[in-house]
Amino acid sequence: MKKLLDLKLFGLVAILIVALVFIGVNFMEGQVQTQDKPPKPPGKPDKPGKSHTEWIEFIGDLLGDMPTLVGGQPVDDCCPNAGPFPEYTMWLNFDMEGNPVTPYSCDGQLFMNGFHHRMPWAYKVQFWKNGTDVAIEIRGGVEHYDKKTRVLTVIFTDELCVDMVTGRPITDVSFTIVRRPN
């Protein structure tokens, strides 16, 4: 009887040891996968990140009959999907009802992104000013990227501008975006 009890105890201890070995190996594999780089020595300062400043310009005919967007300025870190959304000064020659008006300047936030083959439109531009009714979105455009100069040109011709809040169509707009390293 004592031999049977000793044998059961030995089997239980062996099973526990094997289980602990498997758990330990899995834990260590997880640790190796999550550690991409060794930790920095204490007191060593971070390396400064690369600046992502670029010149973003909207080119259009403010004095013409076609509604358009116009602006040009250096912008830092444009435009990650989750923000922050950089400040930008835009000139518009239409109001939020689509009526032609004397060109006016509007300070607001900018978001733009290319969608290439994933969406039926190539590019999306959003511009809004908090606390006002200015909130527009334009989808469309034809992209051209020059790899040598790293200049992106997107031409929008008679693309629908909508109210970002309500989705209501405002007017068709035409303009060109030029994005280049600053």
pLDDT of residue 24: 64
Give the residue-averaged pLDDT of 89-95.
Answer: 95
Q: Which residue has the higher pLDDT, 67 or 13?
A: 67
Give the residue-averaged pLDDT of 56-72.
Answer: 92
CB 153 within 8 A of CB 143: yes
Find the CATH number of the domain harbouring 124: 2.40.128
Residue 5 domain-assigned (yes or no): no
- What is the spatial distance between Cα 79 and Cα 137, in angstroms, rounded to a whole number? 15
Residue 45 domain-assigned (yes or no): no
What amino acid is encoded at 80 in this protein? Answer: P
Percent of the chain predicted with pLDDT > 90: 50
CB 54 within 8 A of CB 72: no
For residue 98, report the phi and psi dihedrals to the nearest 5 degrees.
Answer: 90, 5
pLDDT at residue 33 tops 80: no
CB 160 within 8 A of CB 141: no
Percent of the chain predicted with pLDDT > 70: 71
Looking at the 3D structure of the chain, how many domains does it have?
Answer: 1
- What is the spatial distance between Cα 37 and Cα 168, in angstroms, rounded to a whole number? 50
Residue 116 domain-assigned (yes or no): yes
pLDDT at residue 57 tops 70: yes
The predicted model scores a pTM of: 0.68
Residue 114 domain-assigned (yes or no): yes
